[in-house]
Structure 1
């Protein structure tokens, strides 16, 4: 007989095999147009321009390669990471969908069942987005062109509203960590303005890892306090 942990471990083994294969296929599909243009048609911007573009991109988003897997993993688990990094729209669609599924099911982030429910929520969001995106591509231009200017302005506020909603959900569980994160973000925004170049990625890196550190210290303090009361 398999216990719950064994079943979950078998599930993760399957997820890892499928995830690695789909990520590899995604990488090939992403690089295919550039490789086709370079080696079949003989058109490319030159190695110097490619390196310059890569350096610019890495300087902007390279830090996210480390901070995002660490910060998202407790919410969505291994399957969710494979899914969201392949499908995209991580913060504005996948994470809210995962959190909504976890809250509706009553399974907390960081647990095996919570990770599975987060994956289910993200999977549904992928299909919904694919269907809606197909419909919007077909009819979206006609609809959007007839919408009033004020409505289009409101649409630009959707992502900030999602960020605020997600932040509030977690800040309510640890208000001190939430306040600390806001203060750190504000300080880092001011610091980045004084630095040369586009160093905005430092805001995310410092805010994520410092908030994790503070949350861990507060958790340890609370557990120690509870242990003292029980004694």
Structure 2
């Protein structure tokens, strides 16, 4: 689809610009605190904090683009990276949009539908963030305790919902993903230090390998 290729080229061109602007926007507050107001924790504290953060989320630098790309495409990756909330908002919105449209993940049409879903979720998210800013604290403070405890289950519920949507398409891959994630959780618990990033890396890439093997087997038999 020539039109789609030209569209992606424009997305990459403007996406790079927005990513650079986003990087400067993120760095602006600490630069102001350091060079204008003179508040600085020291280079040793900055390095220690950076190492700690990288050890936890560094694996997502590799796993998220690979695992999310078939769902949301190039445009969706740019939007998701800048807006955040990938797991609890962007990916569920993209998956729902693709499923509702009838297109398949991994196709150009599916990527476009996923992008539309993500774009809509950004505006919806902004609305609810503003509403929560002005009304959320008062509302949450008056909720019953059992309801507030249930709110902590939102993220696991979203994970489970997305997993279920894909599990019905390949139950063997789903079972393998659950098993490898469980095994890696137990292994990482025995390792010294905070090596939780290994759970994500190993689980994502081994599951992709298993799914690819199953797909090749189906294609050979068909």
Shorter-chain TM-score: which interval?
A: over 0.9
Match of 1:186 in 2: 182
Q: Could you state the TM-score of these two structures normalised by the residue count of structure 1?
A: 0.95
Deviation at 1:171, TM superposition (A): 1.2
- Structure 1 runs, 4 residues or longer, greater than 3 Å off: none
Match of 1:158 in 2: 154
Say whether 1:146 aligns with 2:142: yes
Match of 1:116 in 2: 112
Q: What do you get for the CA RMSD once the two structures are aligned?
A: 0.7
Say whether 1:225 aligns with 2:221: yes
Match of 1:125 in 2: 121
Give unmatched runs, 5+ long, in structure 2: none
SS at match of 1:196: coil
Match of 1:96 in 2: 92
SS at match of 2:61: helix
Deviation at 1:118, TM superposition (A): 0.2
Residue by residue over 1:15-48, the C-alpha shift from the partner in whole angstroms, topping out at 9 and shown as x without a partner, is: 1122111111111010001111112222211111
Q: Could you state the TM-score of these two structures normalised by the residue count of structure 2?
A: 0.98
SS at match of 1:138: helix
Say whether 1:200 aligns with 2:196: yes
Alpha-carbon distance in 2 for matches of 1:111, 1:73? 11
Say whether 1:173 aligns with 2:165: no
Say whether 1:39 aligns with 2:35: yes
Say whether 1:86 aligns with 2:82: yes
Match of 1:53 in 2: 49
Deviation at 1:174, TM superposition (A): 0.8
Q: How many residues align?
A: 222
Deviation at 1:169, TM superposition (A): 0.9
Alpha-carbon distance in 2 for matches of 1:108, 1:221? 20
Alpha-carbon distance in 2 for matches of 1:33, 1:197? 31
Say whether 1:12 aligns with 2:8: yes
Deviation at 1:93, TM superposition (A): 0.5
Alpha-carbon distance in 2 for matches of 1:169, 1:88? 22
Structure showing greater radius of gyration is 1
Match of 1:29 in 2: 25
